[in-house]
Amino acid sequence: MSERVYLDWNATAPLRVEARGAMISAMDVVGNPSSVHAEGRAARGIVERARSQVAELVGCNTAEVVFTSGATEAASVLRQMPQGSAVCVDETAHDCVWAHFDLTGGDAGTSHTLAMGLANSETGVITEPAKPVEGLWSYGAVKCAALFLDVVQAVGRIPWSFHWSGAHLAILSAHKLGGPKGVGALIVKTGLDIEALQLGGGQELGRRSGTENVAAIAGFGAACEAAARDLADGCWAKVEKLRNILETTLADEAKETIFVGKDAQRLPNTSCFATPGWKGETQVMQMDLAGYAISAGSACSSGKVKVPRVLRAMGLDDQAAESAVRVSLGPTTTEQDVLGFAEAWLAQEKKFRQRAA
């Protein structure tokens, strides 16, 4: 094939035209957003406009948005839990959240924080927290008084609002929305005090010091505005149809392939499937040579040899979990892209079956 096809939107979405334009314009603004002169006020205006665009997409107040270098930095807020409490992390949470797992640090009290991902990056499966009882969320026998949500994969693809979710904290990342890499946000519920993520000059109302990355923040805001428009226009319903076409086409011929989470509520763009015995890394390389970019799990785990924790937690044995690949689509994906990938993948799947026979 002459052109490559990008089918790894969950790893990072292509930069939106709107984000690129906003970033280029912001680069021409010389002022520091903390300066009080006209140039500084111009830079501050760019940051605050972007803050409003982010708040509009996620359904929160502008003062609740804290700009960070990305979702991983934003997740470090979990290090601040009160002494004697614990961070109770859902088994399928992303590594940046799972890194703060500390159930052993607490007891059966009510000072704990439940941390979970709204949509899993590897499978697309959506897991909404159970409704709290008397203001407490349950994690086994432990009762949690606060809720932390990783909405990196969900925001802009499914309807979601910080306020109606009941969450106290949430994290998101610009590059999953078609914004630039290296910028994200922590959403902090009004009235909740947190220690500074980074000490210094007291930017972001003292919650994250350091001169704001004005150009990246501008691109983030523009991407959020465009994502909100796409969601309202129903573009993800079209993406879901393409995902279903892909899975039906593959399932018709690849009888041994398992489609993970197929019967669960999922993101509209994500398909995770496993052909036991056919290593996921091998499939990724074969598809790369054929001109298709897919993945064998979370991009943050690429290059690491480790037990596929998320898939095992969902009930797959080691052989199946190590054979899983993820295809994730976006608004610019076409039916030709999907069918072309299916043809290339099925050709390799047939060769795998012949070798295994």
Condensed to tens digits (0 to 9), the pLDDT of residues 178-208 reads 999 999 999 999 999 988 888 999 889 889 9
Structure tokens, 328: 């994730």
Return the bridge partners of 259, or none.
273
State residue 104's pLDDT score.
Answer: 43
- Cβ count near 257 (within 10 Å): 20
Structure tokens, 331: 């608004």
* Catalytic residue selected from 60, 144, 224, 300: 300
Is 300 an active-site residue?
yes
Domain at 18-231, CATH class? alpha beta
State residue 109's pLDDT score.
Answer: 55
Q: Domains of the chain: which residue ranges?
A: 5-13+234-356, 18-231
Asked if 152 contacts 116 with a C-beta cutoff of 8 angstroms, the reply is no
Asked if 349 contacts 32 with a C-beta cutoff of 8 angstroms, the reply is no
Q: Which residue stretches of 59-94 are H helix?
A: 71-75
State residue 82's pLDDT score.
Answer: 65
Asked if 117 contacts 80 with a C-beta cutoff of 8 angstroms, the reply is no
Pairing label, strands 270-274, 324-328: antiparallel
Strand locations in the chain (E): 5-6, 65-68, 87-89, 112-117, 137-139, 142-150, 169-173, 184-188, 258-259, 270-274, 292-293, 324-328
Asked if 292 contacts 344 with a C-beta cutoff of 8 angstroms, the reply is yes
pTM to 2 decimal places: 0.92
Mark the ranges of the chain whose per-residue pLDDT is less than 50. 1, 103-106, 302-305
The yes/no answer on whether domain 5-13+234-356 falls in CATH 3.30.70.360 is no
Q: For the chain, what percentages of helix, strand and coil (3-state, to nearest 5) are there?
A: 40, 15, 40
